[in-house]
Amino acid sequence: MDKKGIIFDLDGTLTDSGEGIINCAWYALKAFNLPLPDKEAMRVFVGPPLHDTFVRFGVPKDRADEAVAIYRSRYVPI
């Protein structure tokens, strides 16, 4: 069998990207004028699909794509 690549699960396994994820999610929630939970409560953004988690935090389901776009506009890997 030919092996063509290796896949790594980085979030929380090899790196701790939680701070960046949380800060960007907080930025997106702020853009929607939603209540801003404390950063510890937002740790649930690390791992699950962003769309689902934004809806859980009050973003209307039909605007979840917009929330993800705002999040991604802030989250720029270096």
Provide the β-strand partners of residue 15: 11
Cβ pair 9, 15 in contact under 8 A: no
- How many whole angstroms separate alpha carbon 60 and alpha carbon 31? 13
Maximum CA extent, the chain: 52
11 is catalytic: no
Q: Which of 9, 16, 52, 65 is catalytic?
A: 9
- Residues labelled catalytic: 9
